[in-house]
Amino acid sequence: MTENFLKRYSFNIVANDFINAGKASSAIKGNLKSMGINAHIVRRIAIISYEAEINIVIHSIGGQLHCDLYHDKIVITSTDVGPGINDIEMAMTEGFSTAPESVRELGFGAGMGLPNMKKYSDDFKITSGSKGTEIVITIFL
Amino acid sequence: MKINEMASILNAEIITDFSDENTDIMYGFASDLMSDVLAFATSDSILITGLNNHQVIRTAEMLDITTVIFVRGKKPGKEIVDLAVENKLTILATDYTMFKTCGLLVINGMKGIEGND
């Protein structure tokens, strides 16, 4: 954390909970909006955060979503416990998905999650291993 | 296009209505895949979908979309409607297919989102 750091919002995300999926991102969006942050930036963060949240729900056995607010940037960090991603390069390809049919029936698993997150970010970092995945996304204000 | 006009064209039921006299939506995006909606839809478009679950409302919320049209006779349940109300989202439901819904809206002046962001 640098001296620029202002605030952190953290949320536990439960695996396979499609009813509550999106609540954390909704709270993040609401908080940023009430702070008067530019609507276009809030929208980008909401999309990134929501895709990250859905990914945790679909692919992991649980995780956390953090939103760190700095004077000059917002950082979304998604950490999960799970099988990790075998081939990150493939996972970054639009349309590539390992999601099961049951998830596709819910409207997700189209293979757009990670590419979407990258598309809306200013900086995108992903690390994944056999115990889980961490994604750190920065948007400059 | 006004909400009442859409409802009339689509023979649709207005389930929730948070529109006002300034609501006039010119663009539409249709998909059952919420990730595609997140990738392509814009806040000034309506979302047309045959998917009927909480994530439709959440997706609209994240994108600042104000109006959702459920097609193919899909009627959102109470929990989904409550979430829509919480987010001040206007919901219409029509028995028409997605193809027919899009066709009728386009014939009546609505446009796709291409090149609009």
Rounded Cα distance between B102 and A13, Å, is 36
Rounded Cα distance between A118 and A73, Å, is 16
CATH domain B3-112 topology: 3.40.1390
pLDDT of residue B117: 44
Does the pLDDT value for residue A123 go beyond 60?
yes
The tally of domains found in chain A comes to 1
pLDDT of residue B6: 97
Count the neighbouring beta carbons within 10 Å of the beta carbon of residue A72: 8
- CA-to-CA separations, A18 to A23, A119, B37, B55, B63, in angstroms, rounded: 10, 24, 17, 8, 19
Rounded Cα distance between B17 and B13, Å, is 10
Chain B residues lying within 8 Å of A96, measured CB to CB? none
| Nearest-CB residue to B38 (from A47, A106, A111) | A47
Chain A residues lying within 8 Å of B35, measured CB to CB? 51, 107-113, 116
Q: What is the mean pLDDT of chain A?
A: 93
pLDDT of residue A2: 62
ipTM of this predicted complex? Answer: 0.89
Its domain, for residue A104, covers 5-140
Under 8 Å between Cβ of B46 and B25: yes
Q: Which of A49-63, A86-100, B15-29, B48-62 has the lowest mean pLDDT?
A: A86-100
User: What CATH number should be reported for the domain holding residue A17?
Assistant: 3.30.565.10
Three-class SS state of A72? coil
Rounded Cα distance between B27 and B39, Å, is 16
Q: Which of residues 29-88 of B touch A (CB under 8 A)?
A: 32-36, 38-39, 43, 49, 51, 53-56, 58-59, 61-64, 79
- Beta-carbon contacts of residue B34 (< 8 Å; ≥ 6 apart): A107, A108, A110, B51, B55, B56, B59
Count the neighbouring beta carbons within 10 Å of the beta carbon of residue A6: 11
% of chain B beyond a pLDDT of 70? 97
pLDDT of residue A110: 83
Confidence bin at B115 (pLDDT 50/70/90): low
For an interface test with B, give the residue of A26, A53, A119 to mutate (most B CBs within 10 A): A26
The average pLDDT across B8-21 equals 96
% of chain A beyond a pLDDT of 70? 98
Under 8 Å between Cβ of B105 and B28: yes
- Closest-approach residue (CA) in chain A for B32: A107
Task: State whether A107 and B58 contact (CB < 8 Å).
Answer: no
The average pLDDT across B43-70 equals 95
Rounded Cα distance between B42 and B29, Å, is 8
Number of Cβ pairs < 8 A linking chain A and chain B = 73
Task: State whether B62 and A22 contact (CB < 8 Å).
Answer: yes
